A and B are shown apart, each in its own frame.
Chain A
Amino acid sequence: MTPAALTVAALSLDLGPTRLVDGIGFSVAPGEVMALVGESGCGKSVTAQAIMRLLPDAIRQTGGQVRLGEEDLTALPERAMQAIRGRRLSMIFQEPQAALDPLDTIGAQIAEALRQPLSRVRAEVRRMLEDVGISDPERRIDQHPFELSGGMCQRVMIATALIARPAVLIADEPTTALDVTIQAQILDLLRRLAIERRTAVVLITHDMGVVADIADRVCVMYAGRIAEAGPVAEIFAAPMHPYTALLLASIPRLSDVPKSPLAVIAGQVPAPGEYGPGCRFANRCPRAEPRCATTTPPLLAAGQGREIACFAPLADRRAP
């Protein structure tokens, strides 16, 4: 097995007395796309911010580790972190147009990732723009974000994130704000670049369709914890966690009117701070048993690289 490019171990994030993310862990290998999925508010974005060490002031990492290759980022001073961001560890965002400074040219912003003025690295920036599929890069390089479409802005963001050839790219819902046709193009681009450049990608999404399209592995989060993780093919073929099963059942087929998972799974996700002592899915789970409400199911290995946290999984394939 190749050593992981990124390892997150037992990560806990607190907002004051409230635990938002409760001891989650996963790892991503070079060239692999790992999807982090889950309903709104389950803690995907704060996890990404914690990996980047760019958490909002109010949120603190109270436990766990983030490792880039062998290096533990958790203990690094901010200066060292700055040298890593954009170079070895990059991130792209949900609203590409908002993620670019409206008053600055795109070329100048891409060059920032190389810590060089644009004039010095112009050829390199132009080549990168070509790589992300922007036509006429020599003209685009001096344009401002408002002169580009949303899809092109996301390509620019990808160029910015990858120009320094980082080992890890975190993409926080990179296509949610884009048109469906553009979404597919951007996902293809990410997939292709990840493979070509051996970049480990953490793809945050709440769209199981996106997961099926481009991810190698998936990590299903529910209310600040990991419910189930493993290879996409295995999990889609035979989900074990009741929540995963319901999520998969809610993927819209071509013939369906699109629905959100919330419309399909009855009940509400508990808010952070309202979590009980047991399984956080218990109030919505069709398979809940009495102990589910009182005891937290541990995340256990289930063979074939799978992990699951449930007392009554759909097909019990846990290793004995």
Chain B
Amino acid sequence: MTGHLAGRFGQALVACFGVLTIVFFVMRLSGDPTLLLVPEGASAEQIAALRHELGFDRPMLVQYVAYLGDLARFDLGESLVQRAPVAGIVAERIPYTVALALGALLVALGIGIPSGIAMAVWRGTVVERALAAIVLAGQSLPTFWSGILMILFFGVYLGWLPTSGADSLASLVMPAVALGALTMSTFARMTRISVLDELSRDYVAAARARGLSRMAAVGRHVLRNAAIPVVTIAALEVGNLLAGAVIVETVFAWPGIGQLAIQSIAARDFLVVQAVVLFVSIVYIAMNLLADLAYAAIDPRIRLER
């Protein structure tokens, strides 16, 4: 079990390193930020001088090695655009994105999983059809579209919720729903399939044969078994949530790392973009390790493996 976890951790580190490398080179293929930093009408010599000062005239491989050297010392560098340490810039934004992602996850798990269970247990009834309609809406409305619709309806027309910004818990509601909708649908569909799959197994018939009601069999045996595939997608879905945050944070002017990423890409603020990517990768790795631990907690076959 521990060996397995260590192996997974090693794999994840390699993947993280790969992603960082790709981002490093792709960002630089489109040029460097020198032109955006010099005052208007600067001469070619001035530009060249600044480029030299910033180190962008060095061969790319040299820049890459220097960057890795800094990383190894946990130094994320300084933003060329904001003239401030990257670590601080990113750290300031992280709580917002974490709050948004947790809110979205709450929506996704809180609605998606019970809906999925209900759709499976009451298969073929009006309950299933009603929930299926909600799930379909969640998965087919694009995030930017549902976001704008919600702003218009709850923010502008009803005036119940703030239209943008991050001033109170109320401002979190719409972004979290917009971001969580797609994930909610994914959870609902996966949970439904997983529960249906388990319901058809012999151990359910056997549990009923020893006197459990259908609901008792679901509660005592089916849900735990059905959780295993759902845990797998939960880890993946957190990655999708962070990707979706880029759009939601832009639509709702939410000051998280998604918004920061868009601003930094536009400004060619390489080090900030790289730091954001690094953060997202680490979250992703952590979620996958968490999923592995969750499997072990659920499934004795994994727990008892040497």
Q: Which residue of B lies closest to A104 (CB)?
A: B221
Contact A102 B209 (CB under 8 A): no
Q: Is A144 an interface residue (CB 8 A)?
A: yes
* Chain B residues whose CB sits within 8 angstroms of the CB of A141 once the complex forms: none
Q: A103-B225, A103-B299, A144-B300 are in contact. Are A113 and B206 (CB under 8 A)?
A: no
Contact B213 A93 (CB under 8 A): no
Interface hub of A52, A54, A82 (most chain B Cβ within 10 A): A82
Interface flags, B280-306, vs A, CB<8A=1, else 0: 000000000000000000111100100
Contact A113 B211 (CB under 8 A): yes
Shortest CB-to-CB span from A132 to chain B, Å, is: 15
- Taking CB atoms and an 8 Å cut-off, the chain A residues in 95-147 that contact chain B are 95, 98-104, 109, 112-113, 115, 144, 146-147
- Taking CB atoms and an 8 Å cut-off, the chain A residues in 35-84 that contact chain B are 52, 54, 78, 82-84
- Taking CB atoms and an 8 Å cut-off, the chain B residues in 209-236 that contact chain A are 209-213, 220-221, 224-225
Name the one of A83, A84, A93, A146 contacting B206, with C-beta atoms under 8 angstroms.
A93
Q: Is A11 an interface residue (CB 8 A)?
A: no
Name the one of A52, A102, A144, A146 contacting B203, with C-beta atoms under 8 angstroms.
A102
* Chain A residues whose CB sits within 8 angstroms of the CB of B299 once the complex forms: 102-103
Name the one of A78, A98, A113, A144 contacting B210, with C-beta atoms under 8 angstroms.
A113
Q: A103-B300, A112-B220, A146-B301 are in contact. Are A91 and B209 (CB under 8 A)?
A: yes
Shortest CB-to-CB span from B226 to chain A, Å, is: 10
For the complex, give the distance between the alpha carbons of A157 and B211 in Å. Answer: 14
Q: A90-B210, A104-B221, A160-B210 are in contact. Are A98 and B298 (CB under 8 A)?
A: no
For the complex, give the distance between the alpha carbons of A144 and B300 in Å. Answer: 7
Contact A54 B202 (CB under 8 A): no
Name the one of B206, B212, B301, B304 contacting A100, with C-beta atoms under 8 angstroms.
B206
Contact B208 A85 (CB under 8 A): yes
Q: A101-B221, A103-B298, A146-B300 are in contact. Are A85 and B202 (CB under 8 A)?
A: no
* Chain B residues whose CB sits within 8 angstroms of the CB of A115 once the complex forms: 211
Shortest CB-to-CB span from B306 to chain A, Å, is: 13
Q: How many residues of B contact A (CB 8 A)?
A: 21
Interface flags, A195-231, vs B, CB<8A=1, else 0: 0000000000000000000000000000000000000
Name the one of B209, B221, B224 contacting A86, with C-beta atoms under 8 angstroms.
B209
For the complex, give the distance between the alpha carbons of A115 and B211 in Å. Answer: 8
For the complex, give the distance between the alpha carbons of A101 and B220 in Å. Answer: 10
Q: Is A161 an interface residue (CB 8 A)?
A: yes
Interface flags, B26-56, vs A, CB<8A=1, else 0: 0000000000000000000000000000000
* Chain B residues whose CB sits within 8 angstroms of the CB of A241 once the complex forms: none
Contact A52 B209 (CB under 8 A): yes
Q: Is B207 an interface residue (CB 8 A)?
A: yes
Contact B211 A82 (CB under 8 A): yes
Q: Is A87 an interface residue (CB 8 A)?
A: yes
* Chain A residues whose CB sits within 8 angstroms of the CB of B207 once the complex forms: 101, 109, 112
Q: Which residue of A lies closest to B200 (CB)?
A: A56
Contact B209 A100 (CB under 8 A): no
* Chain A residues whose CB sits within 8 angstroms of the CB of B202 once the complex forms: 93, 95, 98-99
For the complex, give the distance between the alpha carbons of A162 and B221 in Å. Answer: 21
Q: Is B99 an interface residue (CB 8 A)?
A: no
Q: Is B201 an interface residue (CB 8 A)?
A: yes
Q: Is B14 an interface residue (CB 8 A)?
A: no
For the complex, give the distance between the alpha carbons of A79 and B299 in Å. Answer: 32
Q: Which residue of A lies closest to B227 (CB)?
A: A103
Name the one of A52, A82, A101 contacting B225, with C-beta atoms under 8 angstroms.
A101
* Chain B residues whose CB sits within 8 angstroms of the CB of A161 once the complex forms: 209-210
- Taking CB atoms and an 8 Å cut-off, the chain B residues in 73-131 that contact chain A are none
Query: Interface of B with A (CB < 8 Å)?
Result: 201-203, 205-213, 220-221, 224-225, 298-301, 304
Cβ contacts A to B, 28 pairs, < 8 Å: A52-B209, A54-B208, A85-B208, A86-B209, A87-B211, A91-B206, A93-B206, A98-B201, A99-B202, A99-B203, A99-B205, A101-B207, A101-B224, A101-B225, A102-B203, A102-B225, A102-B301, A103-B221, A103-B298, A104-B220, A109-B207, A112-B207, A113-B211, A144-B304, A157-B206, A160-B206, A160-B210, A161-B210
